[in-house]
Amino acid sequence: MKRPTRPRTLAAALALAIPAILLGASPAHADPVSQTSGFYVNPNSSPAAWVAANSGDGRAAAIRSQIAQRPMASWFGNWSGDIAGAVSRYVGAADAVDKLPLLVAYNIPGRDACGGHSGGGAGSVGAYDAWISSFASAIGNRPAVVVLEPDSLGDFSCMSQAQINDRVGMLSRAANQFRSKAPNTWAYLDAGNPGWIDAQTMAQRLNLAGVANAHGFALNVSNYFPTGENSNYGNRVAAALRNYGYTKPFVIDTSRNGNGANGQWCNPGGRRIGTPTQLGGGAEMLLWLKTPGESDGNCGVGSGSTAGQFLPEVAYKMIYGY
């Protein structure tokens, strides 16, 4: 998966493009996987930071080898400060070692409308449009994978029609931003999970939200449904998209689905890490999008914590499934 050197000058870019032009081919969104030598492991992830600060802890070795050293996504939202700088530094660090970074954009206004534990987001439609534009611009020509706005298309039952209209507009414009400003990025719109919205309805929502201009859609983000169930659901969603004249690939979050789901979504006990980030496996990619051990909120085995807080005991138990 070693990538060829990307053109650094206009002349070089044109030289590479001429054969395609002569053949009459239309330019395609470049494949970021083939441009890199593997997935990026963030040395500053929350489990890596905990291990570094607690190397003498009896749980540290397992958390280091089984979680901290795995490729996982980094989440960006209103806590990230200067979004252009934060994204550029992260993608730049991955690019410097020829690896493919995984990013999650999580800043849409009124996010987590039904769950409530991760509420917040940009203060207005205009603020979000500007934020996501800066996000895409900060990636630029560097390879990346981005998942856009977990839960955003599953939360309609907790929103007004005006809020829904605003949301699909923001997502559609976001997909266009990555298409135009980040040509070596694969962007995926979040599409919930098999236990939430039926496939036909989700396909309709994805279409309204502009998935035609994204690379694909993402399933099971921060959830626990087994990979097989997600594959079946994803294939049904992809088939339903053909009603709109196209279909799309999908990725699955396998970070915490090793023991499947038990009917709860907020820090349920007894869950287990799943298949590490890889190509294929029942989807275009299996990705660790949620960091194992990071809390879903003040609930379940994470009682007393806040969403996103790293809980070493939860992480440790998730390695062994108890």
The answer to whether 79 is a known ligand-binding residue is no
Annotation says 82 is catalytic:
no
In order, the DSSP letters of 228-265 are: HHHHHHHHHHHHHHGGGT----EEEE-TTBTT---S--
The answer to whether 288 is a known ligand-binding residue is no
The answer to whether 196 is a known ligand-binding residue is yes
Among residues 151, 155, 166, 190, which one is catalytic? Answer: 151
Annotation says 296 is catalytic:
yes
State the burial class of residue 217 (Cβ atoms within 10 Å of its Cβ: 0-12, 13-18, 19+): buried
Among residues 112, 190, 253, 296, which one is catalytic? Answer: 296
Give the closest residue to 195 by CA, choosing from 261, 244, 247, 130: 261
The answer to whether 265 is a known ligand-binding residue is yes
Produce one character per residue of 83-120: b if its CB has 16 or more CB atoms within 10 Å, e if not: bbebbbebbeebbeeebbbbbbbbbbbbbbbebebbeb
Distances (CA, A) of 233 to 86, 159, 171, 200: 34, 24, 22, 10
214: region left, alpha or beta (phi > 0 left; psi from -120 to 50 alpha): beta
Tokens representing residue 43 in the block: 């040395």
Q: Which residues are catalytic?
A: 151, 296
Please enumerate, by residue number, every residue annotated as part of a binding site for substrate.
75, 196, 223, 265, 290, 294
Please enumerate, by residue number, every residue annotated as part of a binding site.
75, 196, 223, 265, 290, 294
